[in-house]
Chain A
Amino acid sequence: MGFTWWMPDDQTCRGFFKYLPRRYLTDLEDFTSVEITQIEDLLLRDNTKNHSNSTDLINLRELQKDHLLNDFILCVHQSIGNSRYLRIPDSHELIPDTAIEFAERLLAIRKRLLKRLGE
């Protein structure tokens, strides 16, 4: 875990990939897949290096990721979260170390990519 305890939750792997145990969010902002496709098409055609479109796309994809993981959390809560006999495990008990390492590398890429887009 290192010194990640003082970092904002969404900047750690645990927060970014919503490791269990975690509560289900009811107030996630909406997004549409159509919008994602449109920006991707625009970025593939556009050679002007408009970084704001790239940043918009990343924000939308991360929102899509949040929805996907939030749906997973809901499924976990509905299946075992209300039972007085069962506990919700930590994600580390469910996914292999290779995936945890992958998540850390992905977060490092995010940091580097956002820095590159901000330059």
Chain B
Amino acid sequence: MVILPHALPSLLKIHSKANLSDNEILKMIVSINQGLRILEPNSEEIHKNQKEVIEIRDSSTAAIEYGRLIVDFSALISSQSLVGLGEILRSDRLYLEGNNISSLDVTTNPSILYLDMLDNLSLRLERIEEWLEMD
């Protein structure tokens, strides 16, 4: 991970903007804005987990629940990753624009909604683990 002088995660390939011309900085900001325009609409979409609770009583129901779980989990990490990318890009833009962002809390910390969804998935995961008698 590139750590810029502002000590936050970054997606910039440069280590510092100190030796960059204004024109180069402007090009980077344009590139960030282009990226955000694609990312933002996609990261707003929250995948709805399977609402129906399924009782695991045999290998068939375990297969059904496992299948639903991998899809729900994949959707969750995809949306969380897109949100994280957007946050880092916005932080990079602030840095390039010369803002003081030393106190900015820009990280890939998950949201409460994300953690709630992961908790829900964990309960479902535990039920399959119990049925499979996993340690």
Instruction: Write out the residue numbers on chain B whose beta carbons fall within 8 Å of the beta carbon of A58.
Output: 63, 66-67
Instruction: Write out the residue numbers on chain B whose beta carbons fall within 8 Å of the beta carbon of A112.
Output: 132, 134
Instruction: Write out the residue numbers on chain B whose beta carbons fall within 8 Å of the beta carbon of A83.
Output: 31, 34-35
For the complex, give the distance between the alpha carbons of A88 and B13 in Å.
10
Q: How far is the CB of B20 from chain A (nearest CB, A)?
A: 10
Within 8 A of A (CB), among B26-65: 27-28, 31-32, 34-39, 42, 58-64
Identify whether the interface residues of B are mostly helix, strand, loop, or mixed.
helix
Q: Does B1 contact A (CB under 8 A)?
A: yes
For the complex, give the distance between the alpha carbons of A17 and B81 in Å.
12
- Number of B residues, CB within 8 Å of A: 55
User: In the complex, are the beta carbons of A68 and B66 less than 8 A apart?
Assistant: no
Q: How far is the CB of A17 from chain B (nearest CB, A)?
A: 7
Instruction: Write out the residue numbers on chain A whose beta carbons fall within 8 Å of the beta carbon of B9.
Output: 89, 93
In-complex Cβ contact of B66 among A44, A71, A86, A109 (8 A): A109
Within 8 A of A (CB), among B70-88: 70-71, 73-78, 80-82, 84-85, 88
Number of CB contacts from chain A to chain B under 8 A: 165
Query: Which range contains the number of A residues in contact with the other chain?
Result: 35 or more
User: In the complex, are the beta carbons of B39 and A75 less than 8 A apart?
Assistant: yes
Q: How far is the CB of B75 from chain A (nearest CB, A)?
A: 6
Q: Does B122 contact A (CB under 8 A)?
A: yes
Which of chain A's residues has its CB closest to B110's CB?
A96
For the complex, give the distance between the alpha carbons of A110 and B132 in Å.
10
With A61-B70, A65-B71, A113-B132 as known contacts, state yes or no: A86 contacts B11, CB within 8 Å: yes
Residue numbers of B with Cβ under 8 A of A are 1-2, 9, 11-14, 27-28, 31-32, 34-39, 42, 58-64, 66-71, 73-78, 80-82, 84-85, 88-89, 108-110, 118, 121-122, 125, 128-129, 132, 134
New A-B pairs, 16, CB < 8 Å, besides A69-B78, A95-B77, A113-B128: A17-B73, A75-B82, A76-B82, A78-B38, A80-B89, A83-B31, A85-B12, A86-B13, A86-B31, A94-B81, A102-B122, A105-B129, A109-B125, A109-B128, A112-B134, A116-B132
